[in-house]
C-alpha cells in the first residue's frame, strides 16, 4: 500500500486560498483516516537571507515562533476550527516556504495540499509560485486547490 | 465543511506517471464515493493543422482511434487490475490537446483532476509545454499531481538510465530547531 495517504500536510499562510486548502485538507484527512498537519512557514522581519547569515537570538526566535503559532491557530479558526475526529499536529517553521513545505511532507504516505494562489504577473515574478515549487520537488502527491469564487481565468466558464 | 468530490477525472497517456495517477485517482474515488473517469486525449501524429490540410484516410484515422482506446484499456488494466472494476469507471477517448481536453472534462468545481507528473527534459517541455501546469492554471476544481513510482519509471525505460533525482532541497535555517510543536 505505497499509495495510501497516511498524513495530510497543508500549507497555511492565512490567505483566503490557504483557508480553502485547509478545509479541503481536513476533508481529505477524514476520508483517508489520516493525520492532519497544518504548516505555517514564516520569515523573520529581516528576510530569509539575512536570517540565514545572522540568525536571531533565541528570545526573538521564540517570540516570532509564538506569533506564527497564533497566526496559524487564527487561520485554523477561520477555516472552521481543527476537526476533532482527526489527529492534528500544527507546526510552524522559519525560512523559505517551498523547501520547508516539501521538507514537512517527505515521509511515505504524505499528501501535500496547497492553495493555488491567484497572483498577478508582477507577484509571480517577484515571489515565484509555491505550488509550482511543491509540484516540482515534492516526492509524494500534491493537491492544489484553486482560489474560490468565480473561476476567473478559465476562458469559457460553462 | 469541505466540498464533495463527485467525479475524479484522471489524465491518462500510457506513461508510468499516468499509471500512478490512475492508482491514486482510484483511491480518491473510492474514498469520496465518486465516479472515476480516465480520459485519454490524442491528436494526429502530425498535428491537427497538418491533418486539416491533408486529411488522413478513414482507415488510418480508425487505426489511431483504436490505438488510443487500446492504450487507455491497457493502462486501466495495469493500474486497476482486470476488467470488472469495483468502482464506477467511465473511460473516455477524446481527440484534442490533452490540457484543454482535461480541463473541459473536469468542468465542475466538484470534479477533481488527477495527473501524473511528466518526467521530461527541457526540450520536451519547450515543445509540448506541461499539461499539469495548464490544468493548474485553468481548472475549476482541485488538481492533484502524482509522481510515478521509481520502479515503474525504471521498467518503462528498460532500466537504461537511473531515474533522475531532484536536486537537494536548500533550506536556509535548520528546520529541526525551529519545528515548534505545541497544543
- Asked if B2 lies within 8 A of A28 by C-beta distance, the reply is yes
Q: Quick one: closest CA in B to A94, which residue?
A: B178
The answer for residues whose C-beta is within 8 angstroms of residue A86's C-beta and 6 or more apart is A26, A29, A30, A34, A35, A36
Share of chain A above pLDDT 70, in %: 84
CA nearest B144: which of A148, A28, A19?
Answer: A28
- Asked if A95 lies within 8 A of B175 by C-beta distance, the reply is yes
Which residue bears the cell 488538481? B143
**What cell does B46 get?**
502530425
Q: Which residues of B touch A105 (CB under 8 A)?
A: none
pLDDT per position as a tens digit, A53-68? 888 888 888 888 899 9
Query: What's the N-to-C CA distance of chain B in angstroms?
Result: 23
Rounded CA-CA distance B47/B13 in Å is 16
Which pairing describes strands A91-94 and A35-42: parallel, antiparallel, or unpaired? parallel
Rounded CA-CA distance A130/A124 in Å is 10
- Asked if B2 lies within 8 A of A23 by C-beta distance, the reply is yes
- Please, which residues 40-99 of chain B have a Cβ atom closer than 8 Å to chain A? none
pLDDT per position as a tens digit, B137-164? 888 888 898 887 666 655 555 544 444 5
Q: Is 0.90 exceeded by the ipTM?
A: no
Rounded CA-CA distance A116/B178 in Å is 26
CA B116 from chain centre, in angstroms, equals 4
pLDDT per position as a tens digit, A3-12? 578 899 999 9
Higher pLDDT, residue B174 or A146: A146
Rounded CA-CA distance B147/B131 in Å is 14
Amino acid at each position: 500500500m505505497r499509495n495510501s495517504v497516511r498524513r495530510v500536510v497543508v500549507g497555511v499562510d492565512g490567505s483566503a486560498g490557504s483557508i480553502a486548502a485547509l478545509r479541503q485538507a481536513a476533508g481529505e484527512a477524514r476520508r483517508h483516516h489520516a493525520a492532519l498537519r497544518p504548516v505555517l512557514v514564516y520569515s523573520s522581519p529581516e528576510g530569509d537571507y539575512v536570517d540565514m547569515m545572522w540568525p536571531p537570538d533565541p528570545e526573538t526566535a521564540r517570540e516570532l515562533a509564538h506569533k506564527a503559532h497564533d497566526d496559524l491557530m487564527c487561520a485554523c479558526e477561520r477555516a472552521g476550527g481543527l476537526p476533532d475526529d482527526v489527529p492534528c499536529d500544527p507546526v510552524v517553521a522559519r525560512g523559505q516556504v517551498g523547501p520547508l513545505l516539501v521538507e514537512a511532507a517527505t515521509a511515505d504516505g504524505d499528501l501535500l495540499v496547497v492553495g493555488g494562489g491567484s497572483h498577478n504577473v508582477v507577484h509571480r515574478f517577484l515571489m515565484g509560485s509555491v505550488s509550482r515549487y511543491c509540484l516540482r520537488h515534492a516526492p509524494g502527491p500534491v493537491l492544489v486547490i484553486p482560489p474560490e469564487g468565480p473561476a476567473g481565468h478559465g476562458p469559457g466558464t460553462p | 465543511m469541505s466540498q464533495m468530490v463527485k467525479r475524479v477525472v484522471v489524465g491518462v497517456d500510457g506513461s508510468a506517471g499516468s499509471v500512478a495517477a490512475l492508482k491514486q485517482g482510484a483511491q480518491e474515488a473510492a474514498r469520496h464515493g465518486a465516479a472515476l473517469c480516465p480520459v485519454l486525449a490524442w491528436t494526429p501524429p502530425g498535428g491537427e493543422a497538418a491533418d486539416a490540410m491533408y486529411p488522413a484516410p478513414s482507415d488510418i484515422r480508425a487505426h489511431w482511434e483504436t490505438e488510443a482506446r487500446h492504450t487507455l484499456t491497457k493502462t486501466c488494466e495495469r493500474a486497476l487490475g482486470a476488467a470488472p472494476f469495483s468502482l464506477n469507471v467511465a473511460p473516455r477517448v477524446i481527440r484534442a490537446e490533452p490540457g484543454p481536453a482535461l480541463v473541459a472534462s473536469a468542468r465542475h468545481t466538484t470534479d477533481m483532476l488527477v495527473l501524473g507528473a511528466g518526467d521530461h527534459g527541457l526540450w520536451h517541455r519547450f515543445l509540448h509545454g506541461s499539461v499539469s501546469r495548464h490544468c493548474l492554471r485553468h481548472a475549476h476544481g482541485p488538481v492533484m499531481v502524482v509522481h510515478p513510482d521509481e520502479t515503474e519509471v525504471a521498467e518503462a525505460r528498460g532500466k537504461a538510465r537511473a531515474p533522475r533525482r531532484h536536486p537537494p532541497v536548500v533550506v536556509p535555517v535548520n528546520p529541526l530547531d525551529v519545528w515548534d510543536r505545541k497544543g
